[in-house]
Amino acid sequence: MENLPITAIILAGGQSLRMHGEDKGLMMFNNKPLFQHVIDHIKPQVSNIMINCNRHCDQYQKAGYPTFSDDHKGYLGPLSGIYSGLLRSTTPWNLFVSCDTPFLPNDLIARLAIYTPTHHAIYPFDGQHSHPTILLIHRSITPQLKTYLAQGERKLMLFLSSIKAQAVDFSDKPTSFINVNTPEMLESLNQKSSS
């Protein structure tokens, strides 16, 4: 488990509608773009990092990691980014992480990877909510996901249910999975961090 090679893929390809169209991953928290906080937490836990972005790719490239856009055009949601990432990854296991979760735990992989011998997809549950956009998933799922998307399906939890994904209890760390969804929330977090 310790030596499991894993590629982390930051999902920064959404439209950020609740952020009034601002590119969420590039918005500043504590003087650093949100996506960079995610990378800082994930980097010690994985072998490789890639970034999925559908706009401002030049800005994401400045972080020094490979970037790519969705193969399916039209902002089809996180499953499209996950599918595109699985096509490009060179490792069997891949951790997809939304770009707006700046407080991820440093034992995220260790706790999810416990279930790799028995499940092909694993995600955290904080005691109240599932967090399926933080997803450890095996590349062998790619054909099933391709079929699912081809059928016009977009719902992530429905797909995870169909492949019997495992939820992992992180109720001891509920604040680790806070995702920054609105400008007001970002402003509030910035005020707290500077006080």
pTM of the model: 0.91
Residue 53 placed within a domain: yes
31: left (phi over 0), alpha (psi -120 to 50) or beta: left
pLDDT of residue 76: 67
Q: What is the pLDDT of residue 20?
A: 53
Residue numbers in the chain where pLDDT is lower than 50: 1, 16-17, 19
For residue 147, the enclosing domain spans 6-194
Consecutive H or E run containing 41: helix 34-42
Share of the chain above pLDDT 90, in %: 72
The pLDDT score that the predictor gives to residue 187 is 81
164, part of any domain: yes
**Domain with 34 in it: what CATH number?**
3.90.550.10
Q: What is the DSSP string of 135-192?
A: EEEEGGGHHHHHHHHHTT---HHHHHHHTTPEEEE-TT-GGGG----SHHHHHHHHHH
- Please check whether residue 93 lies inside any domain of the structure: yes
Counting the structural domains of the chain, the total is 1
What pLDDT does 1 receive?
Answer: 46
Is 1 a domain residue? no
Strand order across the 6-12 sheet? 67-68, 48-53, 6-12, 93-98, 135-138, 121-125, 166-169
pLDDT of residue 72: 78
